[in-house]
Each structure stands twice: as structure tokens, then as C-alpha cells.
Structure 1
Amino acid sequence: MLSGMSENTEKSSSEAPIGPSSNEDNERDRPDGGALSLPSFVAGSGSLDRLVDTARDYARAAASDNTLKAYAKDWAHFARWCRMKGAEPLPPSPEMIGLYLADVASGSGPSPALSVSTIDRRLSGLTWNYAQRGFSLDRKNRHIATVLAGIKRKHARPPVQKEAILAEDILAMVATLSYDLRGLRDRAILLLGYAGGLRRSEIVSLDVHKDDTPDSGGWIEIFEKGALLTLNAKTGWREVEIGRGSSEQSCPVHALEQWLHFAKIDFGPIFVGTSRDGKRALETRLNDKHVARLVKRTMLDAGIRADLPEKERLALFSGHSLRAGLASSAEVDERHVQKHLGHASAEMTRRYQRRRDRFRVNLTSAAGL
């Protein structure tokens, strides 16, 4: 079962959106700003053409790579569904989209029914794709809104949360790793991801210095008392302060220093692949899926939740378990956790706290009852 968890340094490619026909290169069918062009009444020139390319680059940067990949798959699935029904995806038809949502929610086709959150995300993907092609999709149209409301009322369930990795768990997971080059890297990934409350994409996007690579998602500065991470995160730029641990075995900053030193990394991506013999660091940045596979593998090796079958244990934990673990384990004021995780509201932070005293603030008693 774990054979698919081996190290993978290649970025997965997204499905190409399906256009109006396989032989037609329609500008409106190109996502990621590909449809941006000069107005028909403006004559092209070298400088204007370069500005068009620049504008397209900025349009592509409006969403993360993972979001763009998901949106591309959303469009491909919807376009394929339309053609199977004898229709075309362009221009947008609220009636057809309403039928599409009903189909994926009911699971009437060969594929299983989608969850409400996935359907909502897929509708966002279609809205984005239509906007990229010069169309406007009104989600409030009755053919869409009423069907979606009915789906939510009938099928909505509380969100399924990944299990949090607590302090004793992360120490046990780290203890399963060897001290070769690959083990040093994975130890730094786990401890840094846990102490920083980082998303897996944030971990692998880190560079040694600012502006080292075009695809950098941030960089790290190491000081005597800890490390400062500057992240271009999902919610914008933010700084994450990671202090040194109580011992070298559990210190994320020490683990990072050890990896950088022995891997001889002083420029570019921090977390990269290693050679087959594990003795040499490569130049290719790790895929964020490596973090999820690493969490699952070390969780199994450490015997965490051994009371459950292996399949259930694998489903319980993911890269997000590191982020939830910090929120659940840090015994500090909730505001500090909220800032550390980059949450806009305390309510979002509480969703990550798998263990907390929900009745610490008792308004019933405070009201005199």
C-alpha cells in the first residue's frame, strides 16, 4: 500500500481544458489569461505585444498553481459532460449547469456522488473559467442557485477533518527517520512544518534567499534564537517566527541547519530531491505531495493510532495534520495561534483546534444563571 509513497520530484500536470472542438484553437477557450489580447482597433507593435505577454503572466499569477490545476480539471470534466449530453460548454447555459450540478450530486452516472464542498468548489472553477473566456456566469441565476441550495439542504454534512498530529506524535514520527541525507531532509520538513503550522505547499516553496527562483513562495532567515519565514501564502504575505526547541532532537531550526549544511544548499529551493543512493542533493524542488506521503509513512512507522486498520489510519492523516497539530497542541493565547497560522478570524483557528476547552468562556454563568 505504501509503494506509491516513494519520493517524487516531478510536478503533476493538469488536464488541458477541452475546447469547442478538437481541431479548433479558440481564444475564448484558453484559461490563465490566454485570451488576453489587444483591442481589434489597435495596431500591434513590439512593445504592445510584450505588454500583452506581461499581462497574461500577471493573470496567471492571480491564483496558485494548485488552484489553477483544479480549475482546469473542473473545466475539462464539465466540457466532457456537456458533449456526452450533446451540448457545448460555450456560451454558458445556467440550465445546463444546473443539470450538471444535479448529476454530480446524485451520482447517477458511473462516477460516485461528489460532496457538497467539492460541488461548490467545482462551480467556482466553472465561474472562473468562464470569466477567463470572456463570459459572465451568474451563480444567483435560479437554475443554478435553487439546485445548489437543494443539494446543500439534502446532502450537506459537517466537514471531515484530518486527525491532528500532537507533540508526542511528531517526536515519535521523527524518531523513525534515519540520519542519512534523505532522513535529515524529511526530519526538517516534519519539524518545520509542524512548528510553523505550514501548509504543505508553503513548506516545499521555500527558498534559501529572497528572489532565488521565479517559483519561490518565500524564504528563511536564521538567527541565534530561531528562524523567520517570509511566506507568500494563500492569504497574502505573512511572517512566521519559529523559535528554537528545547533540545536538538526536537528543534526545527537545528534540523533545518543540519539539512542545509550536509546537503550543501546555499541557494535556491530548500527542500529538493536526493540521488537514489541518498548521498547527494539534487536541484529539483520537491512536489508538495511528498509532504503528505511523508506524514502518512512516518505515522504508520511510529505506530500512531495502531488501534485502527491501516487503511483507516492512512485516511485520517495528511499534510494538513501538521497544521492542525500545532493549533491543537500550542498552549498559548488563541490570538497568537491565529496570527501564526495566518487566519483572518478566530473561528477559522478554532476549526483547527482538535482539542480545546470549548466551555472555558461560560456566558451562561457570566449572565448570572
Structure 2
Amino acid sequence: MTPLASHLTVFLVDHLPRHRNASPHTVATYAHSFTLLARFAAERRRCRPIDLQIEDLDPDLILAFLDHVETGRQNSVSTRNVRLAAVRSFFRYIEYKIPSCLDQVLRIHALPQKRTDMRLVDTLTVDEVKALLVAPDSRSFGGLRDRAMLHMAYACGLRASELLSIQMTAFPPGSLATVRIHGKGRRERVLPLWRETQQAVRGWIGARGNTSEQTLFLNRLGEPLSRDGLALVVAKHVRQAAIACPSLLSKRVTPHVLRHSCAAHTLAATGDIRKVSLWLGHASLRSTEVYLRADAAEKLAILAAHAPPGVKPGRFRPPSDKLLAMLATASNGT
């Protein structure tokens, strides 16, 4: 039997950041996945998490855990696949560390990811975004911070991790004209800021005061704001903005919806999916194509560019061949 705790510690603390050059966000995501898995496995095996063995994480337990993620925790299929990716990565590390676990590793590698539906992204209208951006009270400490965060999230189309990791050194010396973003996959991009966004950020920096903490957005304790804190901020101001714009109540607004809204509005303004991809920091255009599916204007342009086909109406004749008749019946699902 092989203790899990020691190998998992080396995997997260040393192997991922040093040998795989994984970002802190990736390490944190994997650590959270194994927190959930360790608690689930300890309950199933009736032991403490520290007493778990690698052999306890067999394919049947992993599958039960993934079902628990999707049904018990009511997470999406995408989240389920993220948890499986973390498990697979750990067992790739175990593959050459502990040869005796090779059979277990191969069986876990064989576990399939679950296919996901390609749904349309949720976006806000321009009026809804305007109502949300003016919702924070600029006369308070929290209001100045929240207004700057909402402006940055929407104007730059930032992921939550990108927004919360912005440092004071991300701006040029003595200017707020641009901001340097450290994005997913260690890709950097420099984005210009609207004048309104610059004013919001300048107001927050003035209220933030001098502190040794270099992260831009802080909580009331002077510590970097968390993802849960950001989600609470957005939910709070959505309720306030809904007073002036009731349509917000019918939508699920998250920090990522602001990123989607930025992309949709940029596509509508430029008509160029490549510019949207550059703005969002996507690795390829395939990630950006989701906004084309949600853009009705693009489909209307396609429809207008093509004349209806000149096909004359005809009368259906059933196939005379018995084999073709059977196949036609089967294709209709009867």
C-alpha cells in the first residue's frame, strides 16, 4: 500500500510548479479538486483523509466521485471534466513514480470525459451593463472598489482570475492608459482602458491608500479579494441595478457573464471575430466562435447574401424496393 498524502503533496507543491511550470491558478484548481476527492474517499473508506492510500482511489471510486460532483454537488459537466483532468494529471505523475500502480493508472486514464452541450453564452444588453456599472456607491470605500472592478471586468473582458490577480505594477508608470493582463496559459496581453474606466480605477487607487500589498483589489482587511468575494460583489450590485433595469432579474449574472457581454458587444461593434479573440486572450479562434453562434446579426447577413434555392415543389413517392422501404421506415424511427 502506498500513502496518498506524501505523493500528493510533492505533486502539488513541487512537480506542478517546478517541472510542469503550472500557474498558481492551475495548482489551486487541482488542490481544490483533490480536497473534494479526499473528503469523498475518506467517507467511502471510513478513514481519515491523511490515512488514504493511492490504491484506495480505484476507477470505481473515481467514477462515483465524478457522479457525486455532478449530481450531489450539482456542478456542471464541464466542472466534472475539470475534476477528472486533475485526477488524470496526478496519476500520470504516479505512473513513473510507483511502477506497481501501473495497472491502476492505465485504468484511470481510460475513464472517459463526459461530452458537454455547446450552449449559447449568456450576455447582458448595453443598457443592462450601464445600469450595473453605475450601481456601486462611489462615496464609500467598497463602492469605489466595486465600481472599478466592474469597469475592468467588462471593459477588458477579464476572467475572474485575471481580474483578481492584477498588480499595481500592471499599469505604466504615472498612467492608467493601459493594463498588462496575465492570462490563461501564461499568455500576456496589453489592453487600453476607456477614460471612464481610468477614472473608476483612479478613484479606487486613491481610496486604497498606501499598503505593502501589491494586488490591486483588496477586501476591508487589506487582503486580496477572493473569487467568492467577487461573486458576492456582482450579485449585490445586480440587485441594486435591477431597480433601474428590471430585466436583470430574469438573468443569471456572474463575473464571467461580464466577459461574455464584452465579447458580444465588441463583435457587434467591429464585426471581426479575430479582434474579439485578441481582446479576450484566446489561444485560438475556435474558443471565440461561440460568440458567432449567439450573434443573430451574423446569421441575418448570411441569409441576406443568399437567394432562396429555386427548387420546384414535387410529390413524394415511396420507394418500391423492399429493402429501401425498410430503411426509410427505420430512418423515421418507427
TM over 0.5: yes
Q: 1:90 aligns with which of 54, 60, 84?
A: 54
Paired position in structure 2 for 1:183: 143
Q: Judge conservation of contact 2:157–2:280 (CA < 8 Å) in 1.
A: yes
Cα distance in structure 2, aligned partners of 1:299 and 1:323: 15
Paired position in structure 1 for 2:203: 258
Paired position in structure 2 for 1:43: none
**1:5-24 matches, cutoff 5 A:** none
Q: Judge conservation of contact 2:160–2:256 (CA < 8 Å) in 1.
A: yes
Provide the secondary structure at the position in 1 that maps to 2:177: strand
**1:166-245 matches, cutoff 5 A:** 166-179=125-138, 180-209=140-169, 219-221=170-172, 227-245=177-195
- Amino acid of the structure 2 residue aligned with 1:221: P
Residue by residue over 1:31-84, the C-alpha shift from the partner in whole angstroms, topping out at 9 and shown as x without a partner, is 4455x6xxxxxxxxxxxxxxxxxx786358614334233332254145336525
Q: RMSD over aligned Cα, in angstroms?
A: 4.1
Q: 2:88 aligns with which of 117, 127, 130?
A: 127
Bigger relative CO (Cα 8 Å, ≥ 6 apart): 1
Provide the secondary structure at the position in 2 that maps to 1:231: strand
Q: Judge conservation of contact 1:243–1:253 (CA < 8 Å) in 2.
A: yes
Instruction: Report deviation, 1:289.
Output: 2.3
Q: CA separation of 1:358/1:347 partners in 2, compared to 1, >3 Å: closer, same or farther?
A: farther
Cα distance in structure 2, aligned partners of 1:74 and 1:232: 28
Q: TM-score, normalised by structure 1?
A: 0.64
Q: Judge conservation of contact 1:222–1:228 (CA < 8 Å) in 2.
A: no
Instruction: Report deviation, 1:230.
Output: 1.7
Paired position in structure 1 for 2:274: 335
Paired position in structure 1 for 2:78: 117
Q: CA separation of 1:367/1:355 partners in 2, compared to 1, >3 Å: closer, same or farther?
A: closer
Instruction: Report deviation, 1:186.
Output: 0.9
Cα distance in structure 2, aligned partners of 1:222 and 1:355: 39
Paired position in structure 1 for 2:297: 357
Paired position in structure 2 for 1:287: 226
**Structure 2 unaligned spans of 5+:** 310-334
Rg bigger for which structure?
2
Cα distance in structure 2, aligned partners of 1:242 and 1:328: 18
Cα distance in structure 1, aligned partners of 2:197 and 2:303: 39
Q: Judge conservation of contact 1:75–1:129 (CA < 8 Å) in 2.
A: no
- Amino acid of the structure 2 residue aligned with 1:176: A
Q: CA separation of 1:306/1:97 partners in 2, compared to 1, >3 Å: closer, same or farther?
A: farther
Q: Judge conservation of contact 2:180–2:188 (CA < 8 Å) in 1.
A: yes
Cα distance in structure 1, aligned partners of 2:16 and 2:107: 33
Provide the secondary structure at the position in 2 that maps to 1:221: coil
Instruction: Report deviation, 1:139.
Output: 10
Once structures 1 and 2 are overlaid, which stretch shifts more, 189-198 or 326-335?
326-335
Cα distance in structure 2, aligned partners of 1:60 and 1:72: 18
Q: Judge conservation of contact 2:151–2:197 (CA < 8 Å) in 1.
A: yes
Instruction: Report deviation, 1:263.
Output: 2.8
- Amino acid of the structure 2 residue aligned with 1:357: A
Paired position in structure 2 for 1:30: 9
Paired position in structure 1 for 2:255: 319
Q: Judge conservation of contact 1:230–1:240 (CA < 8 Å) in 2.
A: yes
- Amino acid of the structure 2 residue aligned with 1:120: N
Residue by residue over 1:319-338, the C-alpha shift from the partner in whole angstroms, topping out at 9 and shown as x without a partner, is 10110110111211221111
Paired position in structure 2 for 1:272: 218
Instruction: Report deviation, 1:137.
Output: 7.3
Q: CA separation of 1:299/1:222 partners in 2, compared to 1, >3 Å: closer, same or farther?
A: farther
Paired position in structure 1 for 2:41: 79
Q: How many residues align?
A: 293
Q: Judge conservation of contact 2:152–2:197 (CA < 8 Å) in 1.
A: yes
- Structure with the higher helix share, 1 or 2: 2
Q: Judge conservation of contact 1:32–1:56 (CA < 8 Å) in 2.
A: yes
Cα distance in structure 1, aligned partners of 2:285 and 2:278: 9
Instruction: Report deviation, 1:130.
Output: 2.6
Cα distance in structure 1, aligned partners of 2:191 and 2:46: 52
Percent identity of the aligned residues?
22
Provide the secondary structure at the position in 1 that maps to 2:87: helix
Residue by residue over 1:201-244, the C-alpha shift from the partner in whole angstroms, topping out at 9 and shown as x without a partner, is 211211111xxxxxxxxx122777x6322222112232232232
